[in-house]
Amino acid sequence: MSDTVIGIIGGSGLYDISGLEGAEWVQVDTPWGAPSDQFFTGTLDGVKMVFLPRHGRGHVHTPSSVPYRANIDAMKRLGVTDLFSLSATGSFREEMAPGDFVIVDQFIDRTFAREKSFFGPGCVAHVSVAHPTCPRLSDAAETAAKAQGITVHRGGTYLAMEGPQFSTLAESKMYREQWGADVIGMTNMPEAKLAREAELCYASIAMVTDYDSWHPDHGEVDVTKIIQTLMGNADKGRGLVARLPGLLGAERAPCPHGCDRALEFAILTQPDNRDPEMVRKLDAVAGRML
């Protein structure tokens, strides 16, 4: 058994969490550069919590400029064991309405301008992301959402687009009708892939703000309406987060799904051939194996 440390990455509109004891903002340096912001740390119901506003306080990072590798590396350095992502999304499904939450279990990655791995020349690794989220954490997120009175949908495919523009109508219809995506956002990739490489259990909670551009009765994305829904979703998200420590508990057993052992057979470069500089940069992410 080990201590549970819950990490929260808050998306658009969610820049802090309330109720933490001993709360403080702390700076974390990483070999991958500066994270999005300082980390808000403290304890809640006896469980250590670590919160990061993905876009930075004041929303200074675009989806493409978010320093995803630094964010995940810093979470690992702070001892996080279980990472929850909350993010604003559009919906491709009538029943997944603005104000609803979706517990995502699959992704389609359409991003192209981001570094997607901690590994590279000098230390090559291939992890499986066939099932990119942790069912144990998804169970906790669903339970917390229902207890908070949130309309929540369990299971959904998140289409990650590069942005920062929203979809064209043609793209929106293709993602919905041909590709079978359920929600669309700009930030969960490569975040989920990096969390897996860092052997972190990861759950994605999509907070629906709009119907993208496919819906015949809603037309194109209306940013004013999105912001109104965003603020309501952020309040719901804070309530959901506050329930997680009580559900996960202060002591943590190994993940039954193996998320915390994802690198067990993933690193292919032989020890004698590993680049020492790469190994140094991987000290937090892959230190268990290296």
Catalytic residue list? 210, 212
Query: What residues contact 165, with CB distance under 8 A and at least 6 apart?
Result: none
Distance CA 79, CA 4 (A): 9
Distance CA 258, CA 195 (A): 13
For 27, other C-beta atoms within 10 Å of its C-beta total 10
Contact 67, 191 (CB under 8 A): no
42, 203, 126, 77: CA torsion to nearest 10:
0
